[in-house]
Amino acid sequence: MFEAVLKYPKALAFSVLFHMVIIIAIVTHFEFFDTPKPVQAGNQIKAIQAKVINSQQLEETKHKKNKEKVEQRRKELKKTALEKRAKELEKKKAKDKKAEQQQKEAEIKRKAAIKKNKALKEIEKLKVQKKAAAKEKRLAKQKEDLKRAEEVEKKQLADEKKKELAEKRRLEEQEQKSKDKASKLKLEAEELGRKQSLLKSAYSNAIKEKVERYWRRPQEISKIESCEVRVLQGPGGIILDVTFGDCDGGTSAYRASIENAVYKAEPLPQPGDKALFEREINFIFSPK
């Protein structure tokens, strides 16, 4: 029995220390809820032995449970490892199967491509033969069409020659008529141009003269310069704006006097022909 106790020295020391504390408390008359009874020496030894045995059983039970837990953990780890290995094998198997399937598909595609290429070559060969036959047929037809076209062309040339002679006579007559008409129109246009030029010159001179009638020479002006005057007018001769072009030597007072004369001349004279009306009138202002 003591050999069994010696296997667990920590439990034995704890048990002895615990009972020593109880003995000291009893000896020093430590008070509990009930007055303790005197403990006999024989009972004390039995109690120590029982405590040691109980501690030993607890340690054995604890050791057994720990051993069972370790064993259970080992089994679980082994099971997990086996399951992991099984999954890896399953994945490898699936991967190998997929690779094999892809290889088969690639082989099928390769054979199909070879077959397709062969078929395409046959089709291309037939096309070449068909084109050659069509070309020969087309050449024969072209020769026949060319022969017929030459015959038709000869006939058409004869007919066209007759038509050309008739058309030439007609064009000569028409050309002569056109020349006569153009000459007449040219003379009329020149006459109309002269008339319009005279009317336009008279129109511009009428505006210039009216402006000069209303012009008043500024006192500080000693020399009268020629000025290009640009008048923007509206319908009825209403003046919209007055600007100046080339006016070398003209002072601001001189230009202001001309602008004042233009506005006083409103409304401006109208042309004899309404077609000659212009929104912008330009004239050279140079009063005598």
Residue 160 lies in a domain: no
Cβ contact 272:203 at 8 Å:
yes
* pLDDT number for residue 53: 63
Q: What is the pLDDT of residues 215-231, one digit of tens each?
A: 998 887 777 778 999 99
Residue 248 lies in a domain: yes
* pLDDT number for residue 262: 94
The two structure tokens encoding residue 72: 């259970």
pLDDT by 10-residue block (mean), the chain, 288 residues: 58 71 61 48 59 76 88 90 89 88 89 86 86 86 88 89 91 90 86 82 90 89 83 92 84 90 93 86 85
Instruction: Spell 62-75 as b/e; 16+ CB within 10 A means b.
Output: eeeeeeeeeeeeee
* pLDDT number for residue 229: 92
Q: Give the residue from 58, 86, 114 where a domain finishes.
A: 86
Residue 78 identity (one-letter amino acid): K
Q: What is the pLDDT of residues 68-111, one digit of tens each?
A: 888 999 999 989 988 998 899 888 988 888 988 998 888 989 99
Residue 221 identity (one-letter amino acid): I
Angle at 205 between CA 202 and CA 208, to 5 degrees: 155
* pLDDT number for residue 41: 54
* pLDDT number for residue 30: 42
* pLDDT number for residue 21: 65
Q: Give the residue from 86, 104, 133 where a domain finishes.
A: 86
Residue 55 lies in a domain: yes
Residue 225 lies in a domain: yes
Cβ contact 254:227 at 8 Å:
yes
* pLDDT number for residue 267: 93
What CATH number did the domain enclosing 248 receive? 3.30.1150
Residue 81 lies in a domain: yes
Residue 162 lies in a domain: no
Rounded distance, CA 236 to CA 278, Å? 11
Residue 21 lies in a domain: yes
DSSP 42-57: HHHHHHHHHHHHHHHH
Domain that holds residue 52: 2-86
Residue 65 lies in a domain: yes
Rounded distance, CA 120 to CA 34, Å? 115
Number of domains the chain contains:
2
Rounded distance, CA 230 to CA 284, Å? 9
C-beta atoms surrounding 210 within 10 Å: 19
Question: For 32-37, which contacts have Cβ atoms below 8 Å and span 24 or more sequence positions?
Answer: none
Q: Give the residue from 86, 103, 126 where a domain finishes.
A: 86
